[in-house]
Amino acid sequence: MKRVAIVTGGSSGIGLETGKLLSLQGFTVILAARRESRLRKIVDAHRDSVPLEFFTCDTGDEESVKSLFHYAREKHGQADVLVNSAGLGYKGAIDEMPASHFDEMMHTNVRGVYLCIKYVVPLMKERQKGHIVNISSGAGKNGIASMAGYCASKFAVMGMTESLALELKPFNIKVSVVCPGSTNTDFQFVMNGAHPSEEARKQMIQPEDIARTVLHIVSAPESCWVYEVTTRAFLKNRI
């Protein structure tokens, strides 16, 4: 039986590349994101080469998340892997940042991760196995000036991951976290207000690299638990 993977933030960047790679490796993949039109285009474009399913979902909305995992249960009867990749960020001095920006980051980056885990865990407990991979950030391990709100949300993901790893281990459910450094996604534009140069993009981690990291984590033998992976761009002129 194929393993079923649900990937949030699946319409672009790390989420999309992770979903595509898992599908190529034999997983049944459900991409979840808010933009139905974009998800539909992605699935249609890859129909002949990379079979994918999609489900429109706002991970910060509880009813929307409940519907996602109800779909997984009704169609496939299981959820073996959850990749929490949905996330967003705003940059700015704390005294200048609109409260709405802070709330939006917490809504997606923290509440969204919590809700998806809350509703996937019963499916995994039923089968006494499963793997949850949270995509945090280097900003979840180090404070960064003008990114206090984003760092706060990603530090929260780190704490949630560590606690849940202990809580779910007795049920044979693994919980892991990936902390990417600067990655070549649309996130860079949102954070900085301008697209990086082509040269800068080449020096960043590519979303495909993070996808391969996630695949390595969820493909490890039963006796092996890859708990945390931190990735950085390999810039030869920097330490």
- Report, as residue numbers or ranges, the catalytic residues: 150
At which residue do the structure tokens 């990655």 appear? 183
The 3-state DSSP class for residue 112 equals helix
136, 158 contact by CB (below 8 A): yes
Q: How far apart are CA 116 and CA 130, in angstroms?
A: 14
**DSSP state letter for 84:** E
The 3-state DSSP class for residue 166 equals helix
Query: Which is nearest to 133 in space by CA: 70, 165, 175?
Result: 175
> What are the phi and psi torsion angles at 151 (to 5°)?
-60, -40
